[in-house]
Amino acid sequence: MGLSRSALLWCSQNKWMKTNIPNYQFVKSAAKRFIPGEKITDALKAAESFNELGIGNVFTYLGENINDLSEAESVTDQYLDLLDKINQSGNNIEISLKLTHIGFDFSFDKTLDNFFKLASEAKKLDNFVWIDMEQSSYVDRTLEFYAKVHKKYKNTGLCLQSYLYRTKDDLEKLIEISPNIRLVKGAYMEPAHTAFPRKQDVDNNFFELMKFLLKNNSGNRNAAATHDTELISKLEAFMNAQKIDKDSIEFHMLYGIKYSEQIRLVNTGYKTIVLISYGDAWYSWYMRRLAERPANIGFVLKNMFTK
């Protein structure tokens, strides 16, 4: 792991910085590259332009590791309200959340109750709920959680991370329940005995895991969440060689990154989705986005000296 990436991930977890850095206007301005705004109305407005192009969206109400279960209830209500607003908008928008945002640090069962409320409402509205994977310490419980959820609600999906050594084994076990999977590279600080330290190894594992999904998870959602155009090209070439239909894969990207590639993919016939985040708890999420591509620090520095 490069020094700059390690430093950014450390910053994402520092309590003082979480409290104070978001108050600086230049940081707020720089963050708008990845977040259209803090309000749900900002996210909905951004989604309209994507939907007009045939690109869907996934919304995340930012936050994680809450302080108590009463806060989990409030977040659950926020997501229920979000599902209603999405339905009213008529746009193609799903939701994605972190389990620690709805109580996972305090109660597995209460978190399950909260999630069931969301999955049930989403099902009624013909919508879908993704579960974001968090640090490696949460993986075992999250896999157990998803197995329980998916048994009852098929309109649910799980994020897995290619930088973890264990993900291949986890995926092979999950295939038995016909999962919906969104594969990402991973954006948390993990020790070398847990995650691949080298980017090339993370990329190679991503490619192998996606090939495994395409071969073994037909009929379910297989989402490649990456902005790496080289990886995307390799996946396209693999699918062409294996005569795998384009509807066997979907590409997920973040708001503000690789817009031209998003357009190319949807125009080529691939299901393309842009993840839009909103809310005032954006600092940790934003620092992890910078860590994924430290070159973006230049964008932040530029905003420090630009009115």
pTM for the model? 0.86
Residue 165 located in a structural domain:
yes
Q: Which of 5, 33, 170, 182 is flagged as catalytic?
A: 182
Residue 97 located in a structural domain:
yes
Q: Which of 5, 33, 132, 289 is flagged as catalytic?
A: 132
Residue 98 located in a structural domain:
yes
CATH number at residue 255: 3.20.20.220
Mind listing the pLDDT tens digit for each residue in 170-180? 999 999 999 99
pLDDT at 299: 45
User: How many structural domains are present in the chain?
Assistant: 1
Please confirm, yes or no, whether 264 is among the known catalytic residues. no
Q: How far apart are the first and last CA of the chain?
A: 34
Residue 54 located in a structural domain:
yes
Full DSSP string of 94-151: EEEEEGGGGTTTT-HHHHHHHHHHHHHHHHHTT--EEEE---GGGHHHHHHHHHHHHH
pLDDT at 23: 57
Residue 42, domain extent: 36-281
Residue 3 located in a structural domain:
no
Mind listing the pLDDT tens digit for each residue in 143-159? 999 999 999 999 999 99
Please confirm, yes or no, whether 221 is among the known catalytic residues. no
Residue 269 located in a structural domain:
yes
Residue 287 located in a structural domain:
no
The stretch 264-276 carries a mean pLDDT of 97
Mind listing the pLDDT tens digit for each residue in 286-302? 666 666 655 455 544 44
Residue 152 located in a structural domain:
yes
